[in-house]
Structure 1
Amino acid sequence: MSDQVKHECGIVLIRLLKPLEYYQEKYGTWMYGLNKLYLLMEKQHNRGQDGAGAVNLKIDQAAGKQYFHRVRSNKTNPIKDVFKHVHAPIEQVAENHPERLNNPQWAKENLPFAGELYLGHLRYGTFGNSSIEYVHPVMRENNWKSRNLVLAGNFNLTNVDEIFNALVELGQHPKDYTDTVTILENVGHFLDEENQNKFRQFKNEGYSNRDISSLIERDLDVRKILERSSRRWDGGYAIAGLIGHGDAFVMRDPWGIRPAYYYHDDEIVVVASERPVIQTAINVRSVQVQDLKPGHALIIKKDGRVTEELVQVPQQRHSCSFERIYFSRGSDRNIYQERKALGRLLTPIILERINYDIANTVFSYIPNTAETAFFGLVNGIRKHLNKIKIEKIKALGCNITDEEVERILELEPRVEKIAIKDVKMRTFITSDQSRDDLVAHVYDVTYGIVKNQEDTLVIIDDSIVRGTTLKRSILKILDRLHPKKIIIVSSAPQIRYPDCYGIDMAKLKDFCAFTAAIELLKERGMENVIQDVYQKCKEQQYLPKEEIVNYVKEIYRPFTDEEISGKIAQMLRPKDIDAEVEIIFQTVENLHEACPNDTGDWYFTGNYPTPGGNKVVNTSFINFMEGINQRAY
């Protein structure tokens, strides 16, 4: 994505199902789980770099001994900083008493992060600020083990206000107005209730307080706690949690918006936000890694029982298609094939727009995340050329010669590495003009490949959100090669609506497609449409979210996709370049053909899977009209 858009967080949960001595004997270190935690977090560092955190829970730690240990960081390289602090006491022991590092029992009793349960998190902050208090995992502490709660998640709720007010009605006084604190206190409330109900039950049965604690830990109904907690949640979420005595869980939203995968055997349970990181870290095949079902929770009891249980009734699956287009690691087998398909499906329209003049067209991609879609496009072009080759060879008839066949077989798309990203340049200079001049040099180009004023450059990008980088940098850079025409191709459709489930795309004014539609309405004397939509949004501003309609769709209704694409190209073309510029977007139909199992397309279509989505787009349009520069949830 040429526009840098931050996105979903990453989670890791590890439960060692054997004593630490087992891993010392089999793998040569009791740090087996800790090492896997680091690897799984590092392999997901793309999912958030605003902060990182890790928690370890020691099961059955003696009274008076600390059983939770947590390290969080919001520094520049947060994963490195977290594990520097995690390993500091270990390195101190290695230096002074190296023999103790081979003693798992001593390590568990004396060293932080020598335990059976690990929870890690990579944060991108879509709500709240970047201070350390907002970095996951977050904790709710209590003197009873089974009332302690630690949470980390990849989530955004659209109705924080509703849940916050419900907590206030219960008599709580939440310390902050964020979805993180709201969810923590929400789950914590029902955890307390479940503890209290079990306490009364066992007290009535005549057990002592000391015995009751163990019985509560044994019988705590984690599924029931999650079911009661999440009834009001509207949004996308994959939330992992630890309860102080040793139960653990990961829960996924009923629409499957946010991803969660798991693997378990008799040694270990692993949960992460992406499938291939589990495959790499644990060295297992993709078919052994399960997709946590929407509306379900993976529950790991203190005694090691692992179950996947229904928590909320699953809805029509709307898992995020941006995961497939851009965010997730392309090393996932299915995602790789889907990204290639996205490129391949663009072949017909690109051939049409270059008038099938492949000889005078150079194909490339920017940035590297678009490489897989580019491979698919090139395959599609080659398939088209193969048909031409077959016809040309047939046409030779009896006059066929090796030289003629060789000349025909040499027909190939001109595939080149046109732009190479240079080191990341800091824009120290404060003036916009000077900063733009620096930004225009973040890519180096390969000179001498493009024929001056003859060739068309076709450049594929995985998606275009704001178009800022295209206008200020990429198009100017490509124009240095003096092509006749530059065609920028997005493997994703036009982004028209805000996201409210985890991606940093919350303001309508930031979308070049929205801006283009507004400009077209003004040019054609249709400002009344803008005012009508504004009035309809204002009229439903205070309705329950379930009654709100997405009237913002009417902004786009008068225009074809091609008209909006043409306006975007006109808006993004810098005035000081010579080349003609055209922009092509993927169709929604092709998106669903390429990614049939991940139908979450609300940013393209405005079809939000939850009622809160319509509330967000409604508020976002009101903010745009009233000049309010803030997110709509």
Structure 2
Amino acid sequence: MDDLFHECGIAAVCHFETDKPSELVPDKDPNQASRLVPGMLLDMQNRGQLAAGFTTFNPYRLQLIDTHKDVGGVAEVFQMNHQERYLNLMQEYAGQAAIGHVRYATCGRDDRSYAQPFERHHIARSKWFSFVFNGQLANYLELREEILQTTDFHLTRETDTEILNHLISRELSETPDLDFLVLLSKLAQRLDGSWNLAYMNANGDMFVSRDPRGIRPLCYAVDGPLFAAASESVALTHLGFAEDSIQNLEPGHAIIIDHNGLRVEKYAESPRKAHCFFEWIYFANAASNFDDAGVYLSRKRLGEELARRETVPIDEDTIVVPVPDTAKAAADSMAFELKVPSLEGLIRNRYIGRTFIEGSNRADKVRMKYTPLPEIMDGKRVLLVDDSIVRATTLKELLRLLRERGRAREIHVRIACPPIIAPCYYGIDMSTIGELFAPDFMADTVITEAEEQAMADEIGADSLRYLPVEAIAECVGLPRENLCQACVDTIYPTPAGEELFRKAVISRQRGNQNCSRIFDSE
């Protein structure tokens, strides 16, 4: 609702046995395996629309690994709407292995130098590598300061991806033929946060790894000689992998492909699983399934839970309207349980690009992005379902639009998520308490009906209801202890996350930001 963004998504493919053709690769040609990556990235475009790119490996060209990347959507970067240009690009970068990336930045500028993959050239093939990264390092500032103070390295970008680039480069400089498991083990001792990686060097060796807490999802599949991995399972399904062949990479594990073939290895202990619950509520593709929990079914159960808690009188003039697009599954299931229509009274313009509306004010953005349908909402009691409220700035304008142009009689906002009361330091674009809507209204981490009504009055709704924290694990279908819910319960799964939150609360209390009730007694 408030243009909440995720860090990114990663993909990898490798035709690791070149003498055995794969049915899933174009023309059964191992060197066409790289052509699978743009389609995989397109399936993960929901995870980042700012930039895209891939690096491919081909032992028969001078540029053993070569990278193509740029700012823009996947179709734009890979020229997929121009068949001849796209085919020429695929031929130029043809290879038996590739890694790819879609990006939205929680830090760093919107230019090509920040796009991934990051490729490091070197005359030694084992030190010539490229990698992609999904997540965010909670101890980024500490690592950055250490690099700048204790080495002669120079950092040119404000991004944790460059920190990883330096750490990997330094380990390879000290031990050129460093075993991948040793490298990952060393990284695990230094990094705090979420950090899924796909890495490939100029020997064609590759690894795909998931951080020890599994904060971000990562799936993989093997079909004969073809291996593929992605942040979304739907990207593997669309390649043609059988559903039962798609697996979750366990936290603290890596898939390694080298001259010894393919193997799954453990590189670090997992202190606890801490899967980000927001993946199921908001970020992930509704067709994906990971960590033994389906995204669509999770959202369906969220709607059922909203229905069970509904107190507004239901009559023939009551309708449910989802805020497009991620709230639709919850809205539909809520309406089904309440036995009222779920109608698309709000149409989203999916063809307005990010740059086109960048310079406009908030009201203009909402008017250009959403069109209310008065023929659906005129005189109706509307249960408006959304997946979350972060800053509420967009929601305020949207409610004004629904009353003025949609002519809704009543608007009751229903949120398929608890109040967001704390920042995320693991890859979601909400880094300060001050930018959040809920904390200024709440005296405790559990919201009251009076506080919900105060929020409703602030945004211009007749009423507002959230789901409680305890409902999330049951709706997602995973044990509470396996989820990271720090943004709604302030329980951070890593030491650096805890420390950043402690400093954020102190800063808030000292008046560096507007005072927040919920943290007054901390």
Q: Specify the TM-score bucket, using the shorter chain as the normaliser.
A: 0.7 to 0.9
Secondary structure of the corresponding residue to residue 509 of structure 1: coil
Question: Which residue of structure 1 aligns with residue 153 of structure 2?
Answer: 173
Could you say if the C-alpha distance between residues 445 and 127 of structure 1 is closer, same or farther in structure 2, counting changes exceeding 3 Å? closer
Cα distance change, pair 187–86 in 1 and its aligned pair in 2 (3 A): farther
Correspondence for 1:346 among 285, 288, 306:
306
Q: Which of 171, 174, 182 does residue 190 from structure 1 map onto?
A: 171
1:57-206 correspondence to structure 2 within 5 Å:
57-59=57-59, 61=60, 65-74=62-71, 76-83=72-79, 88=85, 91=88, 112-167=92-147, 171-176=151-156, 178-195=159-176
Instruction: Name the SS of the counterpart of 1:139 in structure 2.
Output: strand
Q: Which residue of 2 aligns with 1:11?
A: 10
What displacement does 1:169 show? Answer: 6.7
Residue among 617, 623, 629 paired with 2:501: 617
Q: Is the 8 A contact 2:211 2:252 kept in 1?
A: yes
**How far is the alpha carbon of 1:359 from its aligned partner?**
3.1
- Deviation (angstroms), 1:515: 2.9
Q: Which of the residues 228, 232, 235 maps onto 1:277?
A: 235
| Alignment match, 1:505 | 430
Q: How does 1:333-482 map to 2 (within 5 A)?
A: 334-350=294-310, 352=311, 354-355=312-313, 357-382=314-339, 413-422=340-349, 424=352, 426=356, 432=361, 436=363, 439-440=366-367, 442-450=369-377, 452=379, 455-478=380-403, 480-482=405-407
Deviations 1:69-94 (A, max 9, x none): 111101x43543245799759639xx
Deviations 1:467-497 (A, max 9, x none): 1122112343245444442111011111111
| 3-state SS of paired residue (1:368) | coil
Letter paired with 1:418? G
State the 1:168 CA deviation: 5.2
| Residue in 1 that maps onto 2:266 | 310
Tell me how far apart the structure 1 counterparts of residues 357 and 147 of structure 2 sit (CA, whole Å): 45
For 1:269, what is the secondary structure of its paired residue? strand
Distance 1:193 1:442, change over 3 A: closer
Shift of the 114–23 alpha-carbon distance from structure 1 to 2, 3 Å rule, reads farther
- Structure 1 residue identity aligned to 2:6: H
The 1:441–1:128 alpha-carbon spacing in structure 2 relative to 1, beyond 3 Å, is closer
Q: Which residue of 2 aligns with 1:54?
A: 54
- Which residue of structure 2 aligns with residue 591 of structure 1? 472
The Cα shift of 1:230 comes to 2.4
Deviations 1:360-396 (A, max 9, x none): 42222112221111122123224xxxxxxxxxxxxxx
Q: Determine what percentage of the aligned residue pairs are the same residue.
A: 25
One-letter amino acid of the structure 1 residue matched with residue 67 of structure 2: R
Equivalent position amino acid for 2:424 in 1: D
State whether residues 303 and 331 of structure 2, in contact with CA within 8 Å, keep that contact through their aligned partners in structure 1. yes
Question: Aligned partners of 2:119 and 2:25: how far apart in 1?
Answer: 33
Residue aligning to 1:407: none
Contact 2:374–2:408 under 8 Å retained in 1:
no
Q: 1:437 to 1:178 in 2, by over 3 A?
A: closer
**Residue 556 of structure 1 aligns to a residue in which SS?**
coil
Q: Is the 8 A contact 2:212 2:269 kept in 1?
A: yes
Structure-1 residue corresponding to 2:252: 295
CA contact (8 A) 2:198 2:206 kept: yes
Q: 1:506 to 1:471 in 2, by over 3 A?
A: same
Matched, 1:570 2:457: yes
Show CA shifts across 1:571-599 (max 9, x none): 111xxxxxx61111111111111113262
Deviations 1:397-441 (A, max 9, x none): xxxxxxxxxxxxxxxx233322222463955886x5xx6256346
Instruction: Tell me the amino acid that sits aligned with residue 33 of structure 1.
Output: A
Q: Residue 187 of structure 1 contacts residue 226 of structure 1 at CA under 8 Å; is this kept in 2?
A: no
Which structure 1 residue ranges, 5 or more long, are not aligned?
A: 93-106, 196-215, 383-412, 518-554, 574-579
Q: Secondary structure at the match of 2:302?
A: helix
Match for residue 323 of structure 1?
279
The separation in 2 between residues aligned to 1:613 and 1:429, in whole angstroms, is 33
Q: Cα offset for 1:26?
A: 8.1
Give the 3 Å change call, closer, same or farther, for CA 11–112 of structure 1 in structure 2. Answer: same
Q: For the Cα contact (< 8 Å) 1:23–1:29, is it kept in 2?
A: yes
Larger radius of gyration between Structure 1 and Structure 2: 1
Distance in 2, matches of 1:14 and 1:152, equals 13
Structure 2 vs 1, CA of residues 15 and 509 (structure 1 numbering), >3 Å: closer, same or farther?
Answer: same
Q: Partners of 2:221 and 2:286 in 1: how far apart?
A: 20
Specify the SS of the correspondent of 2:134.
strand
Q: Does the 8 A contact of 2:332 with 2:342 survive in 1?
A: no
Supply the AA of the counterpart residue of 1:69.
D
Report the alpha carbon displacement of residue 247 of structure 1 after superposing the two structures with TM: 1.2
Note if contact 2:65-2:201 (Cα within 8 Å) is conserved in structure 1.
Answer: no
CA distance in 2, matches of 1:563, 1:471: 19
Counterparts in 2 of 1:581 and 1:115: CA distance versus 1, 3 Å? same
Amino acid at match of 1:7: H
Instruction: State the one-letter code of the partner of 1:563.
Output: A
AA at the equivalent of 1:490: I
Would the aligned equivalents of 1:17 and 1:266 in 2 still touch at CA under 8 Å?
A: no
The alpha-carbon distance between structure 1 residues 586 and 260, as it changes in their structure 2 partners (threshold 3 A), is same
Question: How far, CA to CA, are the matches of 2:234 and 2:358 in structure 1?
Answer: 38
Amino acid across the alignment from 2:258 = K
- For structure 2, the residue ranges without an aligned partner over 5 or more in a row are 515-522
Contact persistence 1:506–1:620 (CA under 8 A): no
Equivalent in 237, 241, 247 of residue 195 of structure 2: 237
In the superposition, relative to structure 1, how do residues 48 and 414 fare at CA in structure 2: closer, same or farther (>3 Å)? closer
| TM-score w.r.t. length of structure 1 | 0.73
Task: State the alpha-carbon separation in 1 of the partners of residues 233 and 107 from structure 2.
Answer: 26
CA separation of 1:4/1:451 partners in 2, compared to 1, >3 Å: closer, same or farther? closer
User: One-letter code of the match for 1:436?
Assistant: A
Which residue of 2 is the match for residue 95 of structure 1? none
C-alpha distance after superposition, 1:506-556 (max 9, x if no partner): 122221102323xxxxxxxxxxxxxxxxxxxxxxxxxxxxxxxxxxxxx63
Report the counterpart of residue 444 of structure 2 in structure 1: 556
Contact 1:516 1:571 in 2 (8 A): no
Contact conserved, 2:199 with 2:206, CA < 8 A, in 1?
yes
Change (3 A) 1:189 1:470: same
| Distance in 2 between residues matched to 1:221 and 1:56, nearest whole Å | 21
Q: TM-score, normalised by structure 2?
A: 0.88
In the aligned structure 1, how far is the partner of 2:345 from the partner of 2:438?
26
Separation of aligned partners in 2, 1:86 and 1:626: 56
Cα distance in structure 2, aligned partners of 1:502 and 1:562: 31
Map 1:204-243 → 2, pairs under 5 A: 216=177, 220-243=178-201
Give the aligned residue type for 1:358: D
* Structure 1 residue corresponding to 2:206, chosen from 243, 248, 254: 248
Q: In the superposition, relative to structure 1, how do residues 149 and 91 fare at CA in structure 2: closer, same or farther (>3 Å)?
A: closer
Shift of 1:192: 2.7
- Say which SS state the counterpart of residue 161 (structure 2) adopts: helix
**How far, CA to CA, are the matches of 2:396 and 2:23 in structure 1?**
56
The residue number in structure 2 matching 1:399 is none
Contact 1:296 1:311 in 2 (8 A): yes
Q: Deviations over 1:449-472 (max 9, x none)?
A: 4563xx421111111111112211
State the 1:142 CA deviation.
Answer: 1.6
